[in-house]
A and B are shown apart, each in its own frame.
Chain A
């Protein structure tokens, strides 16, 4: 008698990603909770420095470990990372230890001298945050003067010859009508535009209802992203929009704890940058180091095991949207195996209207207590919808179809220029 083993379904690359990697692909490191601004939607509810912040030596030890783990680059944020007095020292330390640095800043410390220094370091990418293409829209979210601060930094970096420059925008109800203007600003400074999703995390939970894009705006954004394809990065932010039709470029999976994670200023490790809450706390690097947490955390083991899609599994779009963003569900009080609050079929909205569970209270909040006052409401001006982007011709090459085909076929997969939360798969054109 001969036993014939059933043919095994070959494991696709995304399956490997879902079950976790030796080291993260995309690691975010918030270096400090201190910030000169008080953006209404801050993911990390930053403002005040935490006295337990990692010391310079501890930070260097983390960098040594990342070098050993071959984490090729870190995405540094905060708070405003450049307000740490040892920030430039840490950048230099990382880049001289084979760990590239991509950092986000509101521009406050980008002097002409610093701009030149950054332009000369080939291992550094700089990302300037801007949430309105005009001071009016931007400053309502990021605070008075923040538009000028960002533009000054863009100008100084571009003048210094910085080519690895990004303009980072969180898409909101007030700035979706400005997508073309953002692109124009980015082009003017030779920067690459990066659009990401507003998450109801940190202080973002307080303003999410008023600020998250409407269904109509989501469609507008989706069309705009399709029309700009490879030119615009998204950090795989909008995979829930793929249910609108064509899959957007990217891996289209939740990378939390699988290929993505976050180290916070006191060394706590969370599953993803949008999930700073004890529910998603995997451990601390102060207890045995980062590798220990990445490889040994029970939470991460759970996230890497097969997930239940609940009611969503019967949806025809489940394969593309995978139920959306875990953090967005959690912070809006929706069940983790339910629909994303911004589900394009409206199932999230329905559940929210029925009254979802209680919204979790933030377990971490370092907002400024006094001045500037913590803003709670944002003036919203309703505008007529702009004409939609021209429809995509069916003849247009779809970069993702190609990507999917590659996943299934050849032994090699190229993901051009990966960036944030799980790789911006589409290659930006060199300018």
Chain B
């Protein structure tokens, strides 16, 4: 598994669609047919910010994630990276 760190640069896979829901959001990957549930609105905010942010760290800060919560969110982003919902981009 590729570790996602605060200095990683990621974006949403072009074939992934996001649907906001009361609990957060549903992500659907039209290529892999995979469905993921983002279980918090804040994680959704991170995922939405990550493409335009300088780095993952910036996206976390923009979405208002507290420092001590960074590890949980980095792990979640790692899972999304692994399932190709998120892909690397040039920093």
Contacts and interface: CB of A to CB of B under 8 A. Distances in A.
B30 A123 contact: yes
Q: Chain A's interface: helix, strand, loop or mixed, by majority?
A: loop
Interface stretch (A20-28, A172-180, A305-313, A325-333): A20-28
A293 B26 CA distance: 21
Contact of A410 (B20, B21, B75): B75
Contacts, number: 86
A280 interface: no
A361 to B, nearest CB: 38
A100 interface: yes
B62 interface: no
Contact of A411 (B18, B31, B32, B73): B73
Nearest to A72: B28
Contacts of B31: 122
A19 B21 CA distance: 12
B34 A417 contact: yes
A13 B39 contact: yes
A414 interface: yes
A414 B30 contact: no
Interface in B15-59: 17-24, 26, 28, 30-40, 42-43
Given A410-B75, A410-B76, A411-B42, A417 B35 contact: yes
B20 A72 contact: no
Interface residues of A, number: 29
B72 to A, nearest CB: 6
B40 A417 contact: no
Contact of B36 (A11, A164, A413): A413
A401 interface: no
Contact of A417 (B21, B32, B76): B32
Contacts of A13: 23, 37, 39
A100 B36 contact: no
Interface string A200-211: 000000000000
Interface residues of B, number: 30
A197 to B, nearest CB: 22
Contacts of A412: 36-39, 43, 76, 79-80
A399 interface: no
Interface string A15-35: 010010111010000000000
B83 interface: yes
A414 B17 contact: no
A13 to B, nearest CB: 6
A23 to B, nearest CB: 7
Interface in A380-428: 410-419, 423, 427
Contacts of B83: 414, 416
B34 A70 contact: no
Given A13-B37, A411-B40, A418-B35, A72 B21 contact: no
Given A25-B26, A72-B30, A100-B30, A414 B21 contact: no
Nearest to B47: A412
A414 B39 contact: no
A38 to B, nearest CB: 32
Contact of B22 (A22, A70, A72, A418): A22
Interface of A: 11, 13, 16, 19, 21-23, 25, 70, 72-73, 98, 100, 122-123, 125, 164, 410-419, 423, 427
5 contacts: A410-B75, A412-B38, A414-B34, A414-B79, A416-B83
Interface of B: 17-24, 26, 28, 30-40, 42-43, 72-73, 75-76, 79-80, 83
